[in-house]
Structure 1
Amino acid sequence: MSQLIDRLLFFKKYQGKFAGGHGVNTDESRAWEDTYRSRWESEKIVRSTHGVNCTGSCSWKIYVKSGLVTWETQQTDYPRTRPDMPNHEPRGCPRGASYSWYLYSSNRIRYPLVRKRLVELWREKRKTLDAVSAWAAIQNDPVARQSYQAQRGLGGFVRVSWDEANELIAAANIHTIKTWGPDRLVGFSPIPAMSMLSYAAGTRYLSLLGGTCLSFYDWYCDLPPASPQTFGDQTDVPESLDWYNSGYLLVWGSNVSMTRTPDAHFYTEARYRGAKSVVIAPDYVEVAKFADLWLHPRQGTDSALALAMVHVILREFYLERQVPYFQDYATRYTDLPFLVILDPSDAGQKPGRLLRAADLADDRYHTTEADWKPLVWDREQACPAMPRGSAGFRWENEGKWNLEPFDAVTGAPLTPSLSLGESGEMATVLFPYFGGDGRFGLNEAEPVHARKVPVRSIALKTGEHVQCATVFDLMTAHYGLSADATAWSDYESNVPGTPAWQEVITGVPRERCIAVARGFARNAEATQGRSMVILGAGLNHWYNMDMTYRAILNMLMLCGCIGQNGGGWAHYVGQEKLRPSAGWGPVAFAGDWGGPPRRMNGTSFFYAHTDQWRYEQLTPREQLSPLASPEKWPQTVLDCNIQAERRGWLPSAPQLAVNPLQLGQKAAQSGQDPATYVKDALVSGSIKLACEDPDAPENWPRNMFVWRSNLLGASGKGHEYFMKHLLGAPNNVMNEDSDQRPDFAKWHDKAPEGKLDLLTTIDFRMSTTAMFSDVVLPTATWYEKSDLNTSDMHTFIHPLQAAVDPAWEARTDWSIFRGLAETFQRLAKGQLESETDVVLSPLQKDTPAELAQPYGDEIWRSEHPIAGVPGKTMPQIAIVPRRYDEVYDRYITLGPGLEKKGNADHGLQWDTTAEIQELKQTHPSVSVKYPERSSLFQDTDAVETVLMLAPETNGAVSARSWKSLSDKTGRDLSHRLGGRDGDRITFADIITQPRQVINSPVWSGVSSTQEAYTANWLNVHEYVPWRTLTGRLQFYQDHPWLRDFGETFATYKPPIETHSTPEALGAAHDNGNPVIPLNFLTPHQKWGIHSTYAENLIMLTLGRGGPVVWISEDDATRLKIVDNDWVEAFNCNGTLVARAVVSQRIPSGAAFMYHGAERTANVPGSEITGKRAGIHNSVTRVVMKPTHMVGGYAHLSWSFNYYGPVGSNRDEFIFLRKMNDVNWFDTTEKGKG
């Protein structure tokens, strides 16, 4: 046989079975495998992520075949952690894995759309008029205007070209600016961290026009006001990897395994490592299955449970026994040693404001900003002393803004006293109690409690003597542990503050409360603070959420957990962590071309302009402390907001009751500069703030942009009021005007319906907001554009990257607003060119204006007016030149502002000239007008600009920012850069592999591949002060408004009565079935992220396929409802229809409707109204809390998304009943569902 045949026959196929019959060789064809291989083969794999505000920020592989996205899988190439800590991957969830369905679904918006009636009017007017005049003609005809408003939400869109859509929108913008003012242009887009440049695209356009950008973190109620109140920071929290370092985990109001899917493995791994886990939630949530112990307090009563735990910790770890670590931490890092002046009252004294250096007679204390330098009692010197690091040192630039334990006057070592117990002097101090007033969760007791507190008598410069107590002594007395230990109640007594007291309110057994408090504190003592609380929306969406959060933070501060790895607070609600914020800010708000921008807190805006204030039942006076004087308070919540806007505490939008572009001319005619003219006119009353008459046509918002958001669906609390008053659309409001009448706002007997002239939505899917819009523009999906994404759950920066071009006629957000800017500039010629704008700004946090009002209660318009001083007693007034004939050229180029003034963030400032010069070389301008500047024409240009300018992505910039903080604190902090001053992260880097950001002083922690990021680390380990009044963690809030509301300390306030379910309403809509009121809660869902994925067919298939309401078995029995019955929920605010899910895991008295259902997915008609039913927000209405309106007071100062009224909704009640008939409105006959 030849060698050839030998070679061919050398490998012989084995015939028959093998492996004991488990395997077999056959001769059948394997060609069928090619079909499988073909199904899963791809032409390319592109890295991207999902900009959906889920906090996940996961890196995904996007597969492309034949030019189409076919599917996605998780990336697994995150940088590794150190060997003894778990890695970040795999990161992802089922929602993200289904996103590619959207790209080619029937719900994809493919072309620009305009409401048919509007486009008919537009085209008719354009036959004879220019674009701006055509729009003006439509708006000047009330019948024509109302004709298209009434069609909102009823379908009837027609396809138009991009040119026509842009012209209509730009003409509307120009007409609005000319007629009403640029601040009548409003934009809403949330959470920039999820797709930073897509957000910046719209805000840059608006800011160049002088339009208003609305905040979102507060409106979403993702903002925990307790964070600014305690830390002077919006929200800085540990990354999820740091859970692994914890020894004791309280998971409180956060369903980690369901809503934090990519991070849940760290929780499991921490438990394997030995961490104790306690889950606290009213329902048996998914994460409770992982816990060692599940506590289930009645919903909305968590603060009582936390306060009782604080009571145990104070008693057992501070008073009966002193733990050295706790004592040192509390003295060094908290306000507990600071002195509080006691104010006299009839029955005793009450806690007043902090004692300040300016109060003392000794001239040595009368330094710069002495009003902002609180004092402690020096135990060694037996006298008041001025510690370093308080707010008064922050802007002096003398290097004393640090927490080093030295007297700022003498330079001697400082030994502050936590308690004045050795003084021998006692005073009777009064404390308010609120636990007997509210809708539920009550425990009756006397409204005022008198307790003994040790004090010192201190002489003031006025010659009088006042008694002062430390914050610590006041707090222990507040929690029922007065200086007289014989007066303490035992844990079994139902006395405010005790475990037995909370049991009456929450239902949690007292022994469980005691055991958890002891375990938490003992672990912190043994591990130097490695006890952690993971918090979420389950706590933060209540009216008195700050009381709950502050009570929990008290536990952490007392146990020395803040700023320690494995310890602290971990609040995850909203993807708020925009890590390269310093590089992003100037691009987003056009700060490179000047400013300031107009920015408005969303909650106040929507409360006023959807007219929810007209239906308000709650009054400020009913919420006051029994120790306050109610006569000095106005009758309505709106009045409080107006007072705050007048004082410069909050912004206004619109700002003035006149067009601000007209004020420059009027000022010139009067011979004054515009700023002085406006100030004098405001003080005299000849010009009023727009907030004083929100229903007057000249004060309406006129044009609104919504992008990256489902404002009218997922986040529109008071949904039906939006429909009625803002849009003039069909609605289900069943409420009537309140009997309240504001003192400071004009009342119109007939409320306006249809304030907005134009609502433009930019989205990739037909959301609820898009359905009610006038213009809908198709945007690129997250797999069709370039962008940036960061999260607080990890320290990486991720790209969004175009795997394919935008489908059909979709465009990227950057391209859409760039096109609008180009059209606007063309149409503005001869209409608007060079104008002078007057911009009002509040007394902003992290600027010297935060020290405007040291005693907190000043106003220039009252019965005893003080001087109106812009930036001091009233809003700041800026004159901003506008070049409307250069909007496009400025949009696509980086302006000169950063070269002139440098860059800044969080009160730090540094030069950025070198980076600007490099950008000019690497990204040269394409603008004819500004050829010498760098380009922002493409979204990738904007991305690279942000990465170049941000200290988190450019080591050279980070080094300069650390130098700025070092100069301010007097401490060399350059080593915290970690040797990365030569590093730079580019877009090319992050599309290759996730990159960990560079340490930056903009944030309060540091991280590396060796250590997990945890918040407040710099404060504790590098003596960098917190940005609060005292420079420390704040237990005590001494602003007059918080004192009047009894919130100097965290206290228990039951859920409020919203008056939305009067008995007469339930009786008026009787359908023969039982009806009961239930507390209505809207947690985050399992099958979607907010409303995204709510109509995704894959997710609908996994869930029940539409809106559902979960109720308890007991309530279902009372209502004669079985699982999957159709039910209707209603109250004064509106109505919704859903299927019932009957479950033993739900507590009686509550109804859970998971947040984010869409009106586009299985929503039938209402039996009550005979119209299409609403969504989860249809039965809600916003109620604002006055204490969140405070400003100009160190850490209690407004800044965009930092502090301000929040949009809570979980105190709400509904009536629930079974439906008899389900009408889908698809036939003339009613059919059962």
Structure 2
Amino acid sequence: MSAVMNRRGFLKSAAALMGSLSLPGFVVNAAAGVAGGNAPAVPLYTSWKDVYRSQWTWDKVVRSTHHLNCWYQAHCSWDVYVKDGIVYREEQAAEYEQINPELPDYNPRGCQKGGCFSERMYDDTRITHPMRRVGPRGSGKWERVSWDEALDDIADAYLDVTVEEGTDRTIWDLGPGIDLGVSMAAQGRFSMLTQSISLDMDGEIGDSRRGTLETFGKIAFERSADDYFYSDLILFWGGNPIYTQIPQAHFFTEARYRGAKIISVAPDYNPSAIKSDLWIPIKPGTDAALAMAVCHLIVAGGHVKEAFVKEQTDLPLLVRTDTSRFLKQADMQAEGREDHHMLWDAHSDSLQTAPFRSLALEALDPMLDVSRSVTLKDGQRVEVRSVYSLLRDRLADYTPEAASQMCGVSPKMIRRLAHEIVSVDKVANIAQTSMCKYYHGNLAERAMALIFALTGNIGRRGAGFSGFPVLNVDGGDKFALTPNMREVAETFGRLEPFIQQRLDAGDSHEMVVQGLGRLMFVPGNPLIRLPIWTSGTLFWSVHGGIGELSARAEEWGLGNKRPLQAYLDESLSKQWQPLQPAPDRPPRIMISLVSNPLRRLRGSEKLLEVLWPKLKKVVVMDWRINSTARHADYVLPAAPWYERTNLKWVTPLSPYLTTCDQATAPLGEAKTDWSIIVLLAKHIQKRARERGISAVKSPQGLEVKLDTLYDDLTMQGEFREGDDDKVARAIFDLSSTHKNKTWDEVKQKGFARFDGLPEDPVSIGSMCEFPADDSIVPLTFHVRDKVPYPTASRRIQFFVDHPFYDELDELLPRFKAPPMIGGNYPLMMTGGKTRWSIHSTWRDSSLMLRLEARPEPYMLMSVADAVQRGIADDDWIRVRNDIGSFKCRAKVSPSLRPGQTLMHHAWEQYQFEGPGDMNTVSPSPLNPVELAGGHPHLTAGLLQGQNSVFDRDTRVEVERIADGGRT
């Protein structure tokens, strides 16, 4: 539709729309009859102004939000305006109270995607009734079916597979849209009761934060956004928050009014660099070299905060030079413990056991730079060195001059960056997931964390290294895992011996709660019946065939000592990375819940070739036809956010639980996720009874009752289909995070600030208070209260003593050059979050495409690279490497450096011209260190410790297509 509309066209369109909806102020004019006796709706107005004004009358306004993976900006409360059962528009609620006169408030919160969802939910992509495929998969041929037809057919397929092949052959593909609220309560209970497999998508969407896990024993910890107002220096390093954190952006810019300085480290001159005081351009994928050079200068210049380093980090701990492993108490004493580490005490000039239950050093004064000989309990004499001593040797290779050759930043600029960091009191960085999308991104994160540890910028107001921001009410697990609401305490009471045993052994409360998240990756756990989770990345690689795309990985300069398959085989054989189902047990049914793997997975076309033929049923639950739905057997219409009541995880950056209150009934025959899953259980139970099927055993021997599945999932009818509000209330009431308000109060207001730290396996990682009148400062329980970190050393850990890390020379942080993934080609294909969509949900929205630089897929490339290839702005180009190719438009930009290209994410497959899409050229080989296990804090758990995917190192060549992309 044209952006320009004349007065007559406006009146005609407005009258037709409002007449068809029978809005107030319109009557049927009987005198204006038409053939057949039907009279048109004629508006009563005296001028166009009356038509315009009638838009601003409403039947009701409810509070709601868009419960999608906005992540760093999640989430915002909106007023949703309803008239005649239709959502007309939404506005930012903008009622967040100022908590402290010194701090900015959280108003306004919202973005352009949320501001047009009332249009998006009614556009041509919306589906409102179940559809069944009638042609070949992907042919686009469908028929409308009833819910009973669809669910009976799916139920029969499920029973056939479960009885004949096993409970683990049904896979739940969980995408970035999962809520950890009402929808996941249904899925979690279904998975727990049936022992089907849930795919953890965190690594396979590139959000693994592996280096953060290696260093802190967790990935999830973050401040509230207003805490940046206390910072002296904010590093935009590894992200573009002005572009991607729209509701948070004002906190960064307002901090500058108080005197904060912003430094942006990025390859391209992006929107965040524009708003910075200093931009440091860097070669893509070389951030570890720059960070190591800064650490070199910090140490060489005597700027190390020694008191912090001695107490909070592993740098004073001793390492055996003969084994490259930590020196343990078990090495020195007959009854010594393997989990107790050793240090050299300056006061007594002797070997001492490092504090275990607390980080407090008491009378100890650990020496940092240690190189000595000690006698082991067997009489053997060995050399030991402190981690700090080993680190000094490693940092010697990263002088500013040497690092400049690696990262492209001048020695003078490296020295300036180090000076800016050490000359202020409080340094903070941003939380984003850019580094971990590089093959060696874990090393960059470890090196950046080292800067913050050496300078003591952790666990203080206005200062800190940012982890992964997750915050969730902790009632969801209680709801999902219990037989009924009366047995919550009894169910979780079964864990009491396990919990007490861990506490008695010296583990912290955080370690115990985090351990429960790891139990979900151990099928058939005897302590408590749990849902089964597995790594999505590993699943797609092994069962989906994506691993086959890396057959030529040895040619790409990955730096591995053995073929990738050798590391994978060792990891699987030792169950370091548990894969469910096992490699020899192919999946048969996949249910995709608010997910879109054929759009987002690198090398996703391989799934159609390898995985899809194995699957007897592919079921997609969504409210629109996305790339994956086009290749499904069934598409079940799910109600979007305004059509249901819900609550969802958020982030500490905006520490407010944000709720959805149902504004309108689901359109057509659409149902909520909760209702669809509950009804599926109902049909499975019905068909099981009709077929005489009662129960089966899981591969681990747990009983799975099929003839009572609906009864058990609904807690004997306590929570039935349609009970979304009731389920949300139960989850809220079971949570410990909001005790000052009722569910009805929160639902009406639309948001409520968290009262305290959730006892959730992921959210607990922030380890801090949630004050009502000040900012949130993560890790204060560690820094202030001396609670150990959940690492093997119980400290911020920079030495990872695992065989894979030893073999690959990653015991300590270092720089490794980006590999040439996809072949030896001159251009690196970097990426970033799009501003115009949240994942793919708005990617084909007509309104958002109007705002895009191009209304179709395009690749940004530098002026120099474009001129060299004879490419002009908006030309059609072919992007290719050894793996594949795709076509798109060129956007020539002066903001990119030569050798760098950039494609923002989330384009749907069908938006590309011809075969292939941007994922076609990205094989994403596994990184061996991410297959490591058998180690206290490298074990897989919810949202952490799993394999990642890497697309930022992809190498390509680009060529102009002369005939407009048709060849």
Instruction: Summarize the Cα distance change of 1:518–1:711 in structure 2 as closer, same or farther, 3 Å threshold.
Output: same
Instruction: Summarize the Cα distance change of 1:767–1:652 in structure 2 as closer, same or farther, 3 Å threshold.
Output: same
Aligned to 1:926: 717
Asked if structure 2 preserves the Cα contact closer than 8 Å seen for 1:607 and 1:1182, the reply is no
What SS does the corresponding residue of 1:569 show, helix, strand or coil?
coil
* 1:867-922, Cα deviation, whole Å (9 max, x unpaired): xxxxxxxxxxxx422111111111111xxxxxxxxxxxxxxxxxxxxxxxxxxxxx
Corresponding letter in the other structure for 1:465: R
Corresponding letter in the other structure for 1:992: K
Match for residue 1036 of structure 1 among 772, 778, 799: 799
Instruction: Summarize the Cα distance change of 1:1004–1:478 in structure 2 as closer, same or farther, 3 Å threshold.
Output: same
What SS does the corresponding residue of 1:104 show, helix, strand or coil?
coil
Instruction: Summarize the Cα distance change of 1:477–1:817 in structure 2 as closer, same or farther, 3 Å threshold.
Output: same
* 1:366-408, Cα deviation, whole Å (9 max, x unpaired): 25xx10111111211222212323xxxxxxxxxxx222224xx
Aligned to 1:953: 738
Aligned to 1:1080: 829
Aligned to 1:80: 98
In 2: Cα distance, 1:184 partner to 1:587 partner: 25
Aligned to 2:817: 1054
In 1: Cα distance, 2:475 partner to 2:215 partner: 27
Aligned to 2:603: 718
**What's the CA shift for 1:538?**
3.2
Aligned to 1:152: 137
In 2: Cα distance, 1:192 partner to 1:376 partner: 47
What SS does the corresponding residue of 1:170 show, helix, strand or coil?
helix
**What's the CA shift for 1:590?**
6.6
Match for residue 906 of structure 2 among 1132, 1150, 1156: 1156
What SS does the corresponding residue of 1:417 show, helix, strand or coil?
coil
In 2: Cα distance, 1:238 partner to 1:1027 partner: 19
Runs (5+) with no aligned partner, structure 1: 1-28, 118-150, 344-350, 390-400, 407-412, 421-454, 481-495, 656-690, 694-698, 728-753, 840-878, 894-924, 928-933, 955-982, 1063-1075, 1166-1172, 1225-1229
Asked if structure 1 preserves the Cα contact closer than 8 Å seen for 2:129 and 2:636, the reply is yes
Provide the aligned length of Structure 1 versus Structure 2.
869
1:196-211 aligned at under 5 Å gives the runs 196-211=181-196
Aligned to 2:786: 1023
Deviates more, 1:554-563 or 1:717-726: 717-726
Instruction: Summarize the Cα distance change of 1:815–1:1078 in structure 2 as closer, same or farther, 3 Å threshold.
Output: same
**What's the CA shift for 1:1215?**
2.5
In 2: Cα distance, 1:589 partner to 1:1185 partner: 34
**What's the CA shift for 1:622?**
7.3
Aligned to 1:774: 633
What SS does the corresponding residue of 1:815 show, helix, strand or coil?
helix
Match for residue 368 of structure 2 among 400, 418, 425: 418
In 1: Cα distance, 2:722 partner to 2:276 partner: 52
Instruction: Summarize the Cα distance change of 1:360–1:936 in structure 2 as closer, same or farther, 3 Å threshold.
Output: farther
In 2: Cα distance, 1:225 partner to 1:289 partner: 29
Match for residue 39 of structure 1 among 38, 55, 60: 55
In 2: Cα distance, 1:173 partner to 1:817 partner: 13
Instruction: Summarize the Cα distance change of 1:952–1:497 in structure 2 as closer, same or farther, 3 Å threshold.
Output: same
Match for residue 384 of structure 2 among 468, 481, 484: 468
Instruction: Summarize the Cα distance change of 1:192–1:708 in structure 2 as closer, same or farther, 3 Å threshold.
Output: closer
What SS does the corresponding residue of 2:598 show, helix, strand or coil?
coil
Matched, 1:457 2:392: no
Matched, 1:519 2:420: yes
Corresponding letter in the other structure for 1:533: N
In 2: Cα distance, 1:229 partner to 1:832 partner: 47
In 2: Cα distance, 1:519 partner to 1:1077 partner: 34
Corresponding letter in the other structure for 2:534: M
1:576-591 aligned at under 5 Å gives the runs 577-580=470-473, 582-588=474-480
4+ residue runs over 4 A deviation: 29-32, 191-195, 588-594, 619-625, 934-937
Asked if structure 1 preserves the Cα contact closer than 8 Å seen for 2:660 and 2:747, the reply is no
Asked if structure 2 preserves the Cα contact closer than 8 Å seen for 1:171 and 1:827, the reply is yes
**What's the CA shift for 1:1193?**
1.3
Match for residue 880 of structure 2 among 1130, 1133, 1143: 1130
In 2: Cα distance, 1:611 partner to 1:33 partner: 61
Matched, 1:652 2:579: yes
**What's the CA shift for 1:54?**
1.1
1:581-730 aligned at under 5 Å gives the runs 582-588=474-480, 594-616=528-550, 617-619=552-554, 635-655=562-582, 691=583, 693=584, 699-713=585-599, 715-727=600-612
Match for residue 758 of structure 1 among 603, 612, 617: 617
In 2: Cα distance, 1:176 partner to 1:257 partner: 49
What SS does the corresponding residue of 1:317 show, helix, strand or coil?
coil
Aligned-residue RMSD, C-alpha: 2.2
Deviates more, 1:302-311 or 1:234-243: 234-243
In 2: Cα distance, 1:107 partner to 1:192 partner: 17
What SS does the corresponding residue of 1:1132 show, helix, strand or coil?
coil
Asked if structure 2 preserves the Cα contact closer than 8 Å seen for 1:985 and 1:995, the reply is no
Aligned to 1:310: 295
What SS does the corresponding residue of 2:886 show, helix, strand or coil?
strand
* 1:771-820, Cα deviation, whole Å (9 max, x unpaired): 11111111011111111122232111010221101111110000000110
In 2: Cα distance, 1:542 partner to 1:590 partner: 40
Relative CO higher for 1 or 2, CA cutoff 8 Å, sep ≥ 6? 2
**What's the CA shift for 1:619?**
4.7
In 2: Cα distance, 1:282 partner to 1:620 partner: 26
**What's the CA shift for 1:209?**
1.4
In 2: Cα distance, 1:97 partner to 1:890 partner: 40
Corresponding letter in the other structure for 1:762: M
Aligned to 1:783: 642
Corresponding letter in the other structure for 2:359: L
Aligned to 1:880: 702
Match for residue 995 of structure 1 among 741, 752, 758: 752
Match for residue 66 of structure 2 among 30, 50, 72: 50
Aligned to 1:536: 432
Asked if structure 2 preserves the Cα contact closer than 8 Å seen for 1:943 and 1:987, the reply is no
Aligned to 1:847: none
- Indicate the percent of aligned positions where both proteins have the same amino acid: 29
Asked if structure 2 preserves the Cα contact closer than 8 Å seen for 1:624 and 1:1044, the reply is no
Asked if structure 1 preserves the Cα contact closer than 8 Å seen for 2:166 and 2:699, the reply is no
Runs (5+) with no aligned partner, structure 2: 1-44, 492-527
**What's the CA shift for 1:612?**
2.5
1:132-531 aligned at under 5 Å gives the runs 151-191=136-176, 194=179, 196-318=181-303, 326-343=305-322, 352-361=324-333, 363=334, 366=335, 370-389=337-356, 401-406=357-362, 413-420=363-370, 455-480=371-396, 496-523=397-424, 527=425, 530-531=426-427
What SS does the corresponding residue of 1:1052 show, helix, strand or coil?
coil
In 1: Cα distance, 2:605 partner to 2:222 partner: 35
What SS does the corresponding residue of 1:651 show, helix, strand or coil?
coil
**What's the CA shift for 1:1024?**
1.1
The alignment's TM-score, normalised by the length of structure 1, stands at 0.68
Instruction: Summarize the Cα distance change of 1:359–1:262 in structure 2 as closer, same or farther, 3 Å threshold.
Output: same
Corresponding letter in the other structure for 2:891: V
Matched, 1:1188 2:938: no
Corresponding letter in the other structure for 2:97: P
Matched, 1:1199 2:937: no
Asked if structure 2 preserves the Cα contact closer than 8 Å seen for 1:51 and 1:195, the reply is no
Instruction: Summarize the Cα distance change of 1:615–1:834 in structure 2 as closer, same or farther, 3 Å threshold.
Output: same
Corresponding letter in the other structure for 1:1207: V
What SS does the corresponding residue of 1:267 show, helix, strand or coil?
helix
Asked if structure 2 preserves the Cα contact closer than 8 Å seen for 1:58 and 1:92, the reply is yes
* 1:539-560, Cα deviation, whole Å (9 max, x unpaired): 2210001000111000001111
**What's the CA shift for 1:93?**
0.9
The alignment's TM-score, normalised by the length of structure 2, stands at 0.87
Larger Rg computed on CA atoms: 1
Match for residue 794 of structure 1 among 619, 643, 654: 654
